[in-house]
Amino acid sequence: MLKVQNLNVFIGHKKIIQGINFQIKAGEIVGLIGPNGAGKTTTMKTILGLTKFTGTIKINGVEVTANNHQALTKTGALIEHPAIYPFLTGRQNLILYSKDKVDMNNLIAVLEMSDYIDKKVAGYSLGMKQKLGIAIAFLNKPQLIILDEPMNGLDVTATIRVRQLIKHYAEAGTAFLISSHILSELQKVMTKAILINSGKIIIDQEVAEFNRLRQQKYQLGTENNLSAGKLLADNKIEFVSQDAYLVVKRQDVYSIQDLLLKNHIHLTEMHPATADFEQIVVDILAKQRS
C-alpha cells in the first residue's frame, strides 16, 4: 500500500531524512517510533507531498510527486494539529471532506461526538478537536491513514474508541502509519515497528520479533539465591539479583540448571523476564549512541 525507497529530505544543506526505505502492506498497522527530532513528522509530511524530497514514494502503486497528488486521493491524515475551521461546526467541517453521509454519521457516533458536533469548533476542548481531526482522517474509508500523535489530548474512553477504530479499519484492509510517544498505547495496536533516529531507520521489524526481544532473559528463584549467585559468579555466568530472583540470559538457562543440580541447589521458580517495550526502545537507542 505504501512503498518508500531511498527517501532523502533536506532543510537548506542539512539532510534531515537519510535514504530511508520501508513499506506497509494493506491491513498493517505500523508504529513510527523515535525520539524528538528523529524525523518522524518530517517523514509523514513528505509522504503526503508536503515536503520536497528525493527518492520514490508510491501509494498503492501510484507515485507521489511535487506536482501530482493523485496518489493521495485515498489517503487520510492527521499531522501535528487537526486542520479544522474554528468558525464552522464540527459537522460542517466533516461535510467539507465527506463523500458519504452514512460513513460520516457513523464516525460521529463511534467517536461519541453527537453532543457537540453541531456546535462551533472554536468552543471545543483539545480532546474534542482531536477527535474531530481523527474523524476527518478516517472519512471516506481511506486505503492509507497517517496519524501523528493521535492520542494527544484524549481521555481514557476516547483512547479506547480510537484504538478500536484503528483495528476495525485495519481488518478491512486499511494500512496505517502511526507516530506516538505513548508507546504503551501504540504497542496495543501496531503489527510492525519502525524505529527512526537522526533521520535513519534503525529497526524495521514485526511486533512478533520485538516480543522475542522482550523475552531474552529469565528470572530464577532457588532455595538459596545467595549460594546460587556465588556459584554463577564462580562459573563466570552473568546474572543480576533483582528482588527475590536471579535474572539470567536465556541461552544460559540449561547450563545453569545443570550447575544447580550438580551442586544440590534446588530451583523453585523459573519464568521469562519480560522487558518493558519502552525500555527496549531506550536500550536500542542507547546502544546506537555508544
Residue spans of the domains in the chain: they are 2-211, 217-274
Which DSSP category does 151 fall into? T
> Could you report the per-residue pLDDT of 137-193, keeping only the tens digit for each?
999 999 999 999 999 999 999 999 999 999 999 999 999 999 988 888 898 999 999
How much is the pLDDT for 182?
Answer: 85
Cα 72 to Cα 64, 137, 255, distances in angstroms: 8, 12, 56
How much is the pLDDT for 242?
Answer: 84
How much is the pLDDT for 290?
Answer: 61
Q: Which residues have C-beta within 8 Å of that of residue 33, sequence separation ≥ 6?
A: 40, 179, 180, 183, 186, 193, 194, 195, 196, 281
Model-level pTM? 0.82
pLDDT < 70 stretches in the chain:
68, 211-215, 274-276, 290
Closest CA to 213 of 126, 284, 143, 266: 284
Return the CATH fold of 2-211: Rossmann fold (3.40.50)
Domain 217-274 has what CATH class?
alpha beta
At residue 125, the 3 state secondary structure works out as coil
Buried b (16+ CB within 10 A) or exposed e, 204-226: beebeebeeebeebbbbbbeebe
How much is the pLDDT for 181?
Answer: 86
Q: Quick one: cell of 51?
A: 515536503
Q: Quick one: cell of 222?
A: 532457588
